[in-house]
Structure 1
Amino acid sequence: MTDAAEVLGADLHLELTGAGSRRAVLIRALREAVRSGRLAPGTRLPPYRSLAADLGVARNTVADAYAELVAEGWLTSRQGSGTRVAERVATPEPERAPRDTARPLPYDLVQGKPDPAAFPRTAWLASARRALTAAPHEAFGIGDPRGRVELRRELAAYLARVRGVRTGQDRIVVCSGAAHALRLLARVVPGPWAVEAYGLPFHRGLLAEAGIRTVPVAVDEDGARPGEIPRGPRAVLLTPAHQFPTGGPLHPERRAAAVDWARATGGFVLEDDYDGEFRYDRRPVGALQGLAPDRVVLIGSVSKSLSPTLRIGWMVLPGALTDGVLAAKGEREPYSSATEQLTLADFLASGAYDRHVRRMRRRHRERRDRLVAVLAERVPGVRVTGIAAGLHAVVELPPGTEAAALAAAARHGVAVEGLGGYRHPDAVSRSGGVGGVGGGGVREGDGLVVGYATPPERLYGGALDALCNALHTALR
């Protein structure tokens, strides 16, 4: 019969090398493990029988080694508590990795980040319990590169109901977020790609790393201008629900023009649906994908609606791209966690996701309204735009003041980004003033991109005060 101590004892790796008896070698190995810090003060050692069985030595050899080290003060032994590394044993300080000594600014108004405290822990935990209880055994084996069928089925139903998407579960591929989706698509859809003249530099950078050259397309208050896509691009990356970061949905005529361009050229529209669920002062705008499922790729994720740490996104693909994307993804890696996919599937099916989005929509709208009201009262010289949807607003500034505003914000403890940082480096601007349209694709003028979702409630008022003080400093 197997000894209970042998079964229940903790594992401990020791190298029994060198001259001397087994007892002496064991004592030396234990001393070195403690001295080096590998066994920290308070660590409980395995029972005699367990360690003896693992090391292939007699039980008395381990008992004698423990007893000697207790006598020397390296270990302690107490009835009911077992044998532990003595608390007063000096161990070396762990080597510290070099770090940035700059302290983070106290007020975080950087766009695109939900408040971590708003994550629905109780509802998510309930979904996790139900999902893991109901999960088939095969869910814990090697997965399908398309993602868990339970999640793809719920996503197909949810996206059809909420975003007007036309698809089946077999055309949905789960990925780890929008960036992962773009990396996969870059391996399937050759360049160059057309992109909006304002957009995430990170996305342009990862496309460049994948060998995809990007060409800017004009942007104004009605979104991108697909009629001005030059000849050559095989895809156009758009944010139709809410142009990022300038704001505003893509005008209906331009939605149709984007689809016409794709059909005429054989290209694809890549629709980044990054905050289509968060709209405040307008009727819901359906996904562009619903107009042309054969030419539009819908890209979505839960990074802003729930948390970026979940690393769950999806692509709704035309049939012509599905096999290529699956081949690019590979048979094993990188996959999103199957347990989190199952949990999200239950979260969607139970209605918890809808309830969370509605709750966060109310909260974000209240925060946006506070931002607009405070700026109107205290800094009436600026204009706030792009506020009908999303998690940020653009504070338009007089020409030539953006750098000063960013510097003043940092001095007042506010982390915020400038509008100029989102501009495509190849975009050429012409006259037109703030809110105008540059002939090479950009609206002119300086501005700040102010996120209002991240700060905890207790800091939001202070963040708005600091922002107003910074703008006063920069604009006086």
Structure 2
Amino acid sequence: MPRIRTNSSTAEDLLIELDRDRTRAEPLHRQVAASIRESVRAGRLRHGASLPPTRTLAAGLGVSRGVVVEAYQQLVAEGYLTSRAGGYTQVALEQGGTADGGREAAPAAPAGAQGAALTVDFGYGHTDVSTFPRAAWLRSVRTVFAATPNERFAYLDGRGVPELHQALADYLNRVRGTSASPRHTVICSGFGQGVSLLVQVLAARGARRLAVEDPSPDDDARPLAAAAGLDVVGIPVGPDGIRVEELEKADADAVVLTPSHQWPTGGVLSAAARARVIRWAQRRGALVIEDDYDAEYRYDRAPVGAIQGLAPDHVVYCGTASKTLVPGLRLGWMLVPPHLVDDVARAKLLADRGSSVIDQLTFADFLARGEFDRHLRRMRPVYRRRRDALLAALDARLPELVPTGVAAGQHVVAWLPPDLDEAAVVAAAARRGVALRGVARYRLDPAGPGGLIFGYATLSERAIAAGIAGLARAVTDVRGPRGAAT
């Protein structure tokens, strides 16, 4: 754990209370030591946290400096604190530490039936946060603090800062083929909040039904729409994305699509199907919510433009930094049709008074400098190598699995042969130390072939090979000796 330098400067920071009744109280230095000792044991003072200088703490407590010095010396001798000449006095123990400087034994992690702890996690959505371009981001932070007028740090309207609107419009029009106007851009805290704002606005305008792809994520649009009182209807997905003929029968007021790389199957909606979706939206006065979640990562195909560029009056384009930079930024953006932008901005303002101005300005500078493009150029070959390692391992160890959606993104779906039950394979894999998810949990209609979702963004090529080897053993476990021999 990195050392934390907080350098508290007041007695109140340590919550030390002294009983000054000399007839019954312990000596003051023992009271100070006991209070700090309890704070360390309870985890209120974390490992590496810096304590106030002795003079500062003594002044805050109204005692002589010698009282605090004696308390600190006692805690250093016990192993709770560490101190060096000219440096900070810091907490030496971690939460739950023992007085001899050791750690209490942590409970063992649960093991599967085979006695294996989880070692390889193919979970989807775990972007490799270790690759975040910290130095470039820091340069943009410094630029923001050096050059931004003071008034920019005040409250703004619900759409966000103009600098980011312009930078995003320039980037998205150039790279994603959108028809973006800075005036119609709303900044949000990721896709989850963006779709929540849209659902609120649609429900207030009388919408009754939201269509979603089937399968589709179960942790954003679907529960949010249901909570807002909208009916949610699943539209089956084929090899090339949503089946538009089923959408046309659904009597929906809006649809959520991932047309450039359907989640999770990886299909790409054809030009003819896109035109048909737009005609459906125009005819019904409906809204298309385009989730462009990972279009920047492509390996074996030409870029596919956004639907929003075809009909900006009927499509809300949603993008996010979660898959391209890090989820912790909580930065997302929407290109909203003119007739909805004011309502969406008001909903954003009511939700949280607006996203962080400093982060927005930093990202605007990061985009304008070309750092975002450079980061994506660095990451594409990294993710491609991991994808290639996954495909090679599947081909070598489990050739009966059929991968799909491999040309882009950060995950692959592999369809199972009919003799393998999806749930049984997932459970057997966990017992072999491999964590992954099946497609079934993301279906509204339970019917459909079994499939496994392999997220590979955070795994090394060696870990991927080890994970597929463990999965192959799990498949053998499911089939049993006779199936394995066959």
TM range (shorter): 0.7 to 0.9
Deviation, 1:410, is 1.2
More displaced, 103-112 or 197-206? 103-112
Distance, in Å, in 1 between the alignment partners of 2:158 and 2:48 is 44
Distance 1:241 1:83, change over 3 A: closer
Distance in 2, matches of 1:404 and 1:219, equals: 24
Cα distance change of structure 1 residues 85 and 292 upon mapping to structure 2, 3 Å threshold: closer
For the residue of structure 2 that corresponds to 1:299, the secondary structure is strand
Corresponding residue number in structure 1 for 2:426 = 406
Cα separation, partners in 2 of 1:388 and 1:63, compared to 1, 3 Å? closer
**From 180, 183, 187, the counterpart of 2:196:** 183
* Corresponding residue for residue 432 of structure 1: none
Contact 2:212/2:233 (8 A) holds in 1: yes
Shift of 1:139: 3.7
**Pair 267,24 (structure 1): closer, same or farther in 2 beyond 3 Å:** same
The 5-angstrom pairing of residues 63-462 of structure 1 reads 63=65, 65-66=67-68, 73=74, 105-190=118-203, 191-203=208-220, 204-229=222-247, 230-330=249-349, 333=352, 335-399=354-418, 401=420, 402-424=422-444, 427=445, 429=447, 444-462=448-466
**For the residues of structure 1 that align with 2:84 and 2:213, how far apart are their CA atoms?**
71
Q: How much does 1:31 deviate?
A: 4.6
Contact 2:233 2:250 in 1 (8 A): no
CA contact (8 A) 2:124 2:454 kept: yes
Aligned residues: 447
Corresponding letter in the other structure for 1:464: I
Q: Which amino acid aligns with 2:441?
A: G
Q: What percentage of residue pairs aligned between the two structures are identical? A: 42
Please say which of residues 37-46 and 91-100 is displaced more in the overlay.
91-100
Rounded to whole Å, the distance in 2 between the matches of 1:384 and 1:472 is 19
- Give the AA of the match of 1:200: P
| Structure 1 position 384, deviation (Å) | 1.3
Q: Deviations over 1:345-404 (max 9, x none)?
A: 222112121122122222222322232233223322221112122111111112252122
Tell me how far 1:124 sits from its aligned partner.
Answer: 2.6
Conserved 8 A contact 2:119-2:434:
yes
TM value normalised by structure 2 = 0.80
CA contact 2:390–2:465 (8 Å) conserved in 1: no
In the other structure, the counterpart of 1:439 is none
SS at structure 1 position matched to 2:64: helix
Assess if the C-alpha contact under 8 Å between 1:37 and 1:91 holds in 2.
Answer: no
SS at match of 1:330: helix
| Amino acid in the other structure paired with 2:214 | A
CA contact (8 A) 1:16 1:25 kept: no
- SS of the aligned residue for 1:211 comes to coil
> Structure 1 CA distance, aligned partners of 2:151 and 2:29?
46
Q: What's the CA shift for 1:198?
A: 0.8
TM-fit CA distance, 1:237? 0.6
Distance 1:125 1:83 in 2: 27
Distance in 1 (alpha carbons) for counterparts of 2:122 and 2:391: 14
- Looking at structure 1, the residues matched to 251 and 272 of structure 2 have their Cα atoms a distance apart, in angstroms, of 22
Q: Partners of 2:409 and 2:91 in 1: how far apart?
A: 56
Q: Is this contact kept in 2: 1:416–1:450, CA < 8 A?
A: yes
- Say which SS state the counterpart of residue 232 (structure 1) adopts: coil
- Kept in 2, the 8 Å contact 1:183–1:210? The answer is no
Maintained 8 Å contact 2:58/2:68: no
What are the superposed Cα offsets for residues 133-190 of structure 1, whole Å, 9 maximum, x if unpaired? Answer: 3333234333442222222211111000011111211211111111111111111112
Q: Please tell me the residue identity of whatever aligns with 1:158.
A: Y
Per-residue displacement from partner, 1:37-59 (whole Å, max 9, x unpaired)?
3678998765676456545x5xx
1:36 paired to 2:54: no
Change (3 A) 1:320 1:29: farther
CA distance in 2, matches of 1:398, 1:63: 75
Task: Determine if contact 1:31/1:74 at 8 Å carries over to the other structure.
Answer: yes
The structure-2 alpha-carbon separation of the partners of 1:142 and 1:32, relative to structure 1 and needing over 3 Å to count, comes to: farther
In 2: Cα distance, 1:116 partner to 1:26 partner: 48
Q: Deviation string for 1:219-269 (max 9, x for gaps)?
A: 111211233223532111111101111111112121111111111111100
Q: Distance in 2 between matches of 1:124 and 1:85?
A: 30
Which residue in the other structure is 2:4 paired with?
A: none
Q: CA RMSD of the aligned region, Å? A: 3.6
Within 1, Cα distance between the matches of 2:364 and 2:467? 36
The answer as to whether partners of 2:440 and 2:446 remain within 8 angstroms in 1 is no
- Structure 1 portions without partners, runs of 5+: 1-7, 430-443
Deviation readout 1:444-470 (Å, 9 max, x if unpaired):
311111122121345233223333333
Residue 3 of structure 2 aligns with which residue? Answer: none
Q: TM-score, normalised by structure 1?
A: 0.82
